[in-house]
Structure 1
């Protein structure tokens, strides 16, 4: 399936469909099979010794086409002005409140809206916390969620009652960037990251258990110019992975991005204009 994407100058790396180091491929569960852990939020704690990064969730079966976030995926856009209804599979008021708070950061700069619903059947996005002990964080991209009615479409795997505010901001904002159609910034055709590929493969294999194909999809591959509309590369984007200097040929590094960048705000306003 060939998709047309728009790549903002949003550094699309770190926050959208994220996976913790011990995770392998993420398979979303049917809501009917999910174990509720509403009263067990403290168990969502995750070891912060390694960057918690995203894994792309996509419906494409064509490995030659890159499907990531914070680059805008053109035919995955919701209707302009749409109010997206969010259903929570589990989690208490505290965690659900944090998700709604930071999801709405996008609505401050775009003509798209988010409301919480208790009706799963009418929901557009179905959010779970560490569902079936899945410690990754991930989201389907934009309207791909419509292909998974009755299923979880977003997961937060490392939140608990002690999570720092800036981590809620970093991860929720990133995942909802995916949910409204954005892909990872490092996949921009104008990405300026000079990867040392052998080191990248070795790093993600050692610490995350990823094979070469998964590293290519989530870290190294870029969109083709013909598939995206892009601005200049934005290493400050909420959609950008952290980049360790040891993994680049020129020592370039990118830390955690916790908030929407100026280019993120401008670009999403162009995708969902008033």
Structure 2
């Protein structure tokens, strides 16, 4: 039976991720192949600014279908009250501390707990920073992390010692939203975004090299109402993409969201109640 997922702030999912660019869009490496490229943790922006965008990552190799969360079966929600053990593949105390700080923002509203562990074999999530020069930020979502034991399950590709506090908040909170089961808000069946599709295709082709199929999958796709539980569209959700007014037919825009919205807090509390 197909899982009826929830859309962010209003959604439970299987597998989504965020990536800064496609030039390093690679699958997570096994622990044996990991190269620590954090160095002094100050060189991540050496390549200059690259627009940030989120991509879906999947466990399937079947490229013949649109690979979105809604095609998967099974419940990817963690057990209520679960303590998620986080193992850091690389990175110093400063970056690791920032990740733990903002991961725990979810625990303020959900019956979940996050602890750091030095035991990789016993960990639930394995976090790295720019592993093998992967400059994207992404995360396997929910219990899909269990399908990748011993492997990296989350990456932060542009963090360094100069990263702004609000960027730590925006990115870490978003990625851990995925890690506990949330999908992108713009994929809600009631998302109120009137995309200018041709401009969207041109934009993502220019900045990311994405073809139409990938744009459809990561930007324009909306879940059928029969496959999700959702409330009113929440443009303030931490799980929402920024939207440029040049890419919409009515000039609508959505800026970067840096903190949990009221609906994020309420919803996650209902998914993981005390």
* 2:85 alignment partner in structure 1: 85
SS at match of 1:86: strand
Runs of 5+ unmatched residues, structure 2: none
* 1:66 alignment partner in structure 2: 68
For 2:8 and 2:25, locate their aligned partners in 1 and report how far apart those are by CA, in whole Å.
Answer: 27
CA shift for structure 1 position 78: 0.2
Q: Which has the higher contact order (CA 8 A, sep 6+)?
A: 1
* 1:145 alignment partner in structure 2: 145
For 1:80 and 1:94, locate their aligned partners in 2 and report how far apart those are by CA, in whole Å.
Answer: 30
CA shift for structure 1 position 54: 1.6
Contact 2:11-2:230 at 8 Å conserved across structures: no
Runs of 4+ aligned residues of structure 1 deviating over 6 Å after TM superposition are: none
Contact 2:11-2:228 at 8 Å conserved across structures: no
TM-score by length of 2: 0.91
After superposition, residues 12-161 of structure 1 pair within 5 angstroms as 17-23=17-23, 25-45=25-45, 49-60=49-60, 61=62, 63-64=65-66, 66-67=68-69, 75-161=75-161
For 1:243 and 1:166, locate their aligned partners in 2 and report how far apart those are by CA, in whole Å.
Answer: 18
For 1:9 and 1:165, locate their aligned partners in 2 and report how far apart those are by CA, in whole Å.
Answer: 22
For 2:47 and 2:193, locate their aligned partners in 1 and report how far apart those are by CA, in whole Å.
Answer: 27
Structural RMSD (CA): 2.2
Structure 1 residues 9 and 144 mapped into 2: Cα distance closer, same or farther (>3 Å)? closer
CA shift for structure 1 position 23: 2.8
For 1:253 and 1:166, locate their aligned partners in 2 and report how far apart those are by CA, in whole Å.
Answer: 20
Moved more, 47-56 or 35-44: 47-56
CA shift for structure 1 position 57: 2.0
Q: Once the two structures are superposed, what CA deviation does each residue of 1:25-71 show, in whole Å capped at 9, x if it has no partner?
A: 43111111111235431122366745312222222547346228xxx
Contact 2:9-2:264 at 8 Å conserved across structures: yes
Runs of 5+ unmatched residues, structure 1: none
Q: Once the two structures are superposed, what CA deviation does each residue of 1:237-268 show, in whole Å capped at 9, x if it has no partner?
A: 00001100011111100000000000000000
TM-score by length of 1: 0.91
